[in-house]
């Protein structure tokens, strides 16, 4: 009987295996066909419809599937693909203008600024930009304020109120639950662990948050004031008193130009493109235009500039889209270094930091690459702690005014459940061979010796970190330590403190790399190429449901974020060079 069961289970397993293989091949064939899209045509007198209501990453990613080396899934809707399409549209005779509609943009402030800068350049071509929304979030309005004419729905809403950031504190929760976080930190501004130590915000943390929020808000006001022909003082008054919260108030405050329904907006676009009333307005959506641009942008040159994207938390191990693994990133650096056609490397960093060891290993690979060809850093929304560690030895560092960087400090956090165990009548007993054999137990509080050893390691990493910065930036070590202590800076302040070299975006960094390497004609080589398992691929296309999707449905998005952060904290190994908090500017 058992023999028959074993045979049947083996046959069933084989059928399941064959089914997964067949489905996997079909999916990959589908992806291959999708990547070789049909030729896209653009009609004369067309409006590019810029709808940015999807999560925008710096790098949409290239994925190679394990066991199927012949195919690579290369998405084309990353931040710099979009910017490239806007730049191309400026010279495309068939594109008459851009329409920005109902975005609810899902991008960071520095990414939004990069898009806005591209739109400012587009306007310089003499073509129009119009914007329409039922609801303008503050970030949407920052982007859309560049438009020649800003429209709002008569029943719409506008958010224009300034910035804020909120932190949660867990000291009382720890005492009530019995689950405590053992904290060792270095740097008075290293406030990633502050919520575990107190129930109120420290003066130092409040100071740095206030400093960078006001710096970012100042940059936003400055750019809006220029586009809307107003003053920063008037914009502050509008924000303080919520004078743009309704369409009529927004019009009176001169933040919008016209109140109209969407069909009326389309009629105005027809006038702008000299399209007859009874004719259909010729528009092309962003995804189609991205494919169109990729078909047009061809180059025969062998020269390349490698752009390596490092986006997400830094982890020790292999990376994937959304995380920076030292194995994946270093492989990309070596690939660029060994390719004779690659004349320079631009490392695009968008990271709050993470593993100290992984950051050091990536730093070392950058150091080796610099000996062969220039390495230029472009900072995105954030390049802090380990993100700054990776950047500090580059030949030149570019950042946006709204970039969050610095945070040169170290911390360690260990969960401790001693009080929780006591409440439930659980007692842990240990037997050791040497006095320091037990370095840490989750069921025992840290003793002075253990805390001392950990503090010693943290100080060693901090000293190494500050020395890396001093050497890489050619700064006096005392100056570095004065601006370190875990403090966060905006790009503007980082420039004043000599932590970066120049204000600018990725295109500026690429242009500098081109000049430094004497490479006039070049192609962009985007790295890294990620590897994906067939199971992950099946989840992506809905053939299997991921744990993440199940949890989001059950818990809701906000609760899932909290769970994800707790899970991420529990997985962090070794000392951490991490931004002082989960940055969320609202």
User: Which superfamily does CATH assign the domain made up of 304-427+435-534+573-578 to?
Assistant: 2-enoyl-CoA Hydratase; Chain A, domain 1 (3.90.226.10)
Identify whether 385 is a catalytic site residue: yes
Cα separation of 518 and 528, whole Å?
24
Q: How far apart are CA 61 and CA 312, in angstroms?
A: 13
pLDDT tens digits, one per residue of 383-401 = 999 999 999 999 999 999 9
One of 227, 385, 407, 517 is an active-site residue; which one? 385
Residue 479 CB-density burial (10 A; 0-12 exposed, 13-18 middle, 19+ buried): middle
CA distances from 566 to 319, 322, 409, 481, 569 (A): 20, 17, 21, 31, 5
pLDDT at 294: 87
Measured at the CA of 570, the angle between CA 423 and CA 459, to 5 degrees, comes to: 105
Provide the token pair at 57.
């990453």
What CA–CA distance (Å, rounded) separates 555 from 143? 32
pLDDT band at 125 (very low <50, low <70, confident <90, very high): very high
Q: One fold for both 46-161+242-296 and 304-427+435-534+573-578?
A: yes
> Does the N-terminal peptide bond of residue 528 adopt cis geometry, omega within 30 degrees of 0?
yes
Annotated catalytic residue within 57, 96, 139, 190:
190
Q: How confident is the model at residue 156 (pLDDT cuts 50, 70, 90)?
A: very high
Helices 356-370 and 326-338: crossing angle, nearest 10°? 0
Domain boundaries, the chain: 46-161+242-296, 304-427+435-534+573-578
CATH class (in words) of the domain with range 46-161+242-296? alpha beta
Helix (H, G, I), strand (E, B) or coil at 382: strand
Residue-wise pLDDT tens digits, 461-513: 999 999 999 999 999 999 999 999 889 999 999 999 999 999 999 999 999 99
pLDDT at 30: 47
Residue 240 has pLDDT above 70, yes or no: yes
pLDDT at 250 over 70: yes
Q: Note the pTM of the prediction, 2 decimals.
A: 0.84
H-only helix segments in 339-475: 356-370, 386-391, 418-423, 448-473
Looking at residue 187, its pLDDT comes to 66
Q: Can you give the pLDDT at residue 515?
A: 97
User: How many Å apart are CA 161 and CA 242, to the nearest integer?
Assistant: 6
The answer, yes or no, to whether residue 177 has pLDDT greater than 50, is yes
Q: For position 11, what pLDDT does the model report? A: 61
pLDDT at 18: 55
For CA atoms 333, 338, 340, 341, the dihedral sign is negative
Q: 283: pLDDT confidence band, cut at 50, 70 and 90? A: very high
Q: If pLDDT is split at 50, 70 and 90, which confidence band does 29 have?
A: very low
Residue 274: strand pairing partners: none
Residue 572's pLDDT is 60
Q: In this predicted structure, what is the pLDDT of residue 176?
A: 86
Query: What is the overall mean pLDDT for the chain?
Result: 87
CA distance linking residue 392 with residue 364, whole number of Å: 11
Longest dimension (CA), the chain: 89
DSSP state for residue 193 in the 8-state scheme: G
Concatenated DSSP letters of 7-38: HHHHHHHHHHHHHHHHHHHHHHHHHHHHHSPP
Backbone φ, ψ for residue 521 (5° rounding): -105, 120
Residue pair 183/196 in contact (Cβ under 8 Å)? The answer is: yes
């Amino acid at each position: 009987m058992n023999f028959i069961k074993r045979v049947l289970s083996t046959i069933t397993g084989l059928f399941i295996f064959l089914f997964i293989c067949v489905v996997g091949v079909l999916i990959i064939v589908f992806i291959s066909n999708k990547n070789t899209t049909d030729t896209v045509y653009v009609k004369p007198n067309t409006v590019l419809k810029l709808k940015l209501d999807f999560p925008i990453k710096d790098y949409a990613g290239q994925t190679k599937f394990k066991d199927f080396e012949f195919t690579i899934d290369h998405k084309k809707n990353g931040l710099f693909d979009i910017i490239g399409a806007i730049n191309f549209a400026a010279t495309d005779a068939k594109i008459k203008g851009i329409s920005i509609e109902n975005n609810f943009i899902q991008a960071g402030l520095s990414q939004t600024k990069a898009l806005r800068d591209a739109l400012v350049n587009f306007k310089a071509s003499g073509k129009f930009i119009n914007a329409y929304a039922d609801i303008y979030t503050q970030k949407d309005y920052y982007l859309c304020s560049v438009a020649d004419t800003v429209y709002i729905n008569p029943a719409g809403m506008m958010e224009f109120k300034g910035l804020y950031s909120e932190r949660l504190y867990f000291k009382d929760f720890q005492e009530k639950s019995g689950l405590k976080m053992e904290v060792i930190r270095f740097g008075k501004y290293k406030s990633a662990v502050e919520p575990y130590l107190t129930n109120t915000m420290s003066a130092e943390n409040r100071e740095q948050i206030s400093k960078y929020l006001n710096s970012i808000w100042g940059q936003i006001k400055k750019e809006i004031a220029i586009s809307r022909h107003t003053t920063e003082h008037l914009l502050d008054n509008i924000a303080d008193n919520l004078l743009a919260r309704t369409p009529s108030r927004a019009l009176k405050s001169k933040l919008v130009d016209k109140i109209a329904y969407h069909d009326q907006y389309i009629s105005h676009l027809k006038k702008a493109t000299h399209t007859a009333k009874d004719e259909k307005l010729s528009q092309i959506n962003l995804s189609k235009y991205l494919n169109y641009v990729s078909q047009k942008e061809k180059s025969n040159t062998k020269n390349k500039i490698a752009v390596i994207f490092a986006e997400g938390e830094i982890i020790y191990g292999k990376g994937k889209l959304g995380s920076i693994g030292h194995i994946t990133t270093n492989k990309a650096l070596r690939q660029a270094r060994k390719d004779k056609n690659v004349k320079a490397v631009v490392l695009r960093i968008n990271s709050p930091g993470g593993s100290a060891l992984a950051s050091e290993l990536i730093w070392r690979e950058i150091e080796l690459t610099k000996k062969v060809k220039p390495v230029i850093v472009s900072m995105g929304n954030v390049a802090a702690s380990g993100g700054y560690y990776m950047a500090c030895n580059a030949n030149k560092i570019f950042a946006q005014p709204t970039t969050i960087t610095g945070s040169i400090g170290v911390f360690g956090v260990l969960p401790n459940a001693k009080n929780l165990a006591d409440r439930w009548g659980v007692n842990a007993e240990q037997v050791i061979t040497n006095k320091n054999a037990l370095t840490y137990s989750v069921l025992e509080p840290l003793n002075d010796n253990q805390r001392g050893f950990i503090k010693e390691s943290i100080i060693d990493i901090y000293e190494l970190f500050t020395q890396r910065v001093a050497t890489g930036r050619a700064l006096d070590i005392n100056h570095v330590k004065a601006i370190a202590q875990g403090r966060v800076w905006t790009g503007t302040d980082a420039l004043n403190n000599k932590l970066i070299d120049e204000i600018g975006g990725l295109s500026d960094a690429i242009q500098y790399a081109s000049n430094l390497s004497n490479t006039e004609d070049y192609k962009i080589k985007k790295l890294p190429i990620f590897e994906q398992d067939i199971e992950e691929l099946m989840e992506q296309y809905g053939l299997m449901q991921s744990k993440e999707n199940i949890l989001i449905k059950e818990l809701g998005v906000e609760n899932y974020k909290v769970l994800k952060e707790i899970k991420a904290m529990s997985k962090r190994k070794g000392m951490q060079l991490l931004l002082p908090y989960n940055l969320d500017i609202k």
